């Protein structure tokens, strides 16, 4: 016989959410009170301590990615377990968890998550760190450990070195003993990338030529490119023979169709388009990535740059700042 749902005493009957009432600009956001979600079998109900803001959520709000409205964004969040559904093992009331795979939107005072997609947060990690880590941390981890496994001494190219993923990538790469070349769009952002440990910080204009100067004409074995349309050709130009182009995002727009024969002409190149969900396939893989990320945090190998913390009701301002590149690092919403 399965265990019944267990609730914390005096659990609120309602939750406050910030949601998009329809597709459109940030003006479509509204803050409303709804019934508090109830965990089903194998689910946890979490009282939100902080929620991550990510670029994909601007696409969902605007209608670029179809969703059902009214829509509460957010898959990334951290907080305290206040209710446990049937058949849940290894979690209990009062524990802190984090996730990048919430079952309900984390732009809320409470969210649901499948127990299999939640990770316990160590005492040494703060709520803000736990909320800022999942998507950017896991992305950087799978890129350099699974998509293309970087070895000590290798020189790699990343883009947007002052961004959230860019800063995490640089730090984890340096911890591996790699040499990091990155790009930024301004002197101010170049300082941020340098502070993260980048060995070379380049302007976007003509970066491929400078990469070949640094590598004495050889090029790099791998490029991690989350910018997309504006950098894709230059990234290919930066690769060594049999190099790997890892396109993991499209902040500047989507890359047009690729002539595969062009990869042959450039030296037998590889191109891949990964995403987080393909690298969190099971509990073992999820725990491996988070265990290493938490260890890097506690050992000081990884520092998370929280570029802004906004009240939950001001999600519109957070997304507007993100879309218009007014911030660096990770943005959080705090109920």
- The domains located in the chain, with CATH, are 6-133+305-334 (3.90.180.10), 136-277 (3.40.50.720)
- Cα angle 328, 330, 335 (rounded to 5 degrees) comes to 130
Tens digits of residue pLDDT in 169-187: 999 999 999 999 999 999 9
Average pLDDT, the chain: 95
Tens digits of residue pLDDT in 61-104: 999 889 999 999 999 999 999 999 999 999 999 999 999 999 99
What SS3 state is found at 57?
A: helix
Tens digits of residue pLDDT in 199-257: 999 999 999 999 999 999 999 999 999 999 999 999 999 999 999 999 999 888 889 99
Which residues are within 8 A (CB) of 259 and not within 5 positions of it... i.e. 6 or more apart? none
Is the pLDDT assigned to residue 4 strictly greater than 70? no
330, containing H or E segment = strand 330-334
**CA distances for 142 relative to 118, 145, 263, angstroms:** 18, 5, 24
| Burial class for 205, CB neighbours closer than 10 Å (0-12, 13-18, 19+) | exposed
Q: What are phi and psi of 223, to 5 degrees?
A: -120, 130
Which parts of the chain fold into alpha helices (H)? 56-62, 127-132, 134-142, 164-175, 187-195, 207-214, 232-238, 260-265, 283-299, 315-323
Cα distance between residue 150 and residue 157, in whole Å:
11
């Amino acid at each position: 016989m399965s265990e019944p749902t267990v609730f914390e005493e005096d659990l609120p009957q309602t939750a406050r959410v910030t949601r998009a009432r329809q597709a459109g600009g940030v003006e479509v956001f509204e803050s409303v009170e709804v019934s508090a979600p109830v965990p089903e079998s194998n689910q946890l109900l979490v009282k939100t301590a902080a929620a991550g803001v990510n670029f994909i959520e601007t696409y969902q709000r605007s209608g670029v990615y179809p969703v059902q409205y009214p829509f509460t964004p957010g898959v990334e969040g951290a907080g305290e377990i206040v209710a446990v559904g049937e058949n849940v093992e290894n979690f209990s009331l009062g524990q802190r968890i984090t996730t990048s795979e919430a079952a309900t939107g984390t732009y809320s005072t409470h969210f649901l998550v499948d127990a299999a997609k939640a990770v316990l947060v160590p005492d040494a990690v703060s709520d803000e760190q736990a909320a800022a880590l999942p998507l950017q941390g896991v992305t950087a981890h799978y890129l350099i450990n699974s998509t293309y496994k970087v070895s000590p001494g290798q020189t790699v190219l990343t883009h947007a070195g002052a961004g959230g993923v860019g800063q995490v990538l640089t730090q984890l790469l340096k911890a591996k003993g790699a040499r990091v070349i990155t790009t930024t769009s301004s002197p101010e952002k170049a300082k941020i990338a340098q502070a993260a440990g980048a060995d070379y910080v380049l302007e976007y204009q003509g970066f491929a030529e400078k990469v070949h100067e640094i590598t004495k004409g050889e090029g790099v074995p791998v490029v991690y490119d989350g910018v997309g349309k504006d950098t894709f050709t230059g990234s290919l130009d930066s690769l060594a023979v049999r190099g790997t182009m890892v396109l993991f995002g499209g902040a500047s727009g989507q890359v047009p169709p690729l002539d595969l024969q062009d990869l042959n002409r450039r030296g037998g190149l590889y191109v891949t388009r990964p995403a987080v969900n393909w690298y969190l396939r099971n509990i073992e893989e999820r725990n491996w990535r988070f265990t290493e990320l938490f260890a890097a945090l506690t050992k000081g190998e990884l520092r998370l740059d929280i570029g802004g913390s906004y009240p939950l009701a001001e999600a519109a301002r957070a997304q507007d700042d993100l879309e218009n590149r007014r911030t660096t690092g990770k943005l959080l919403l705090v109920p």
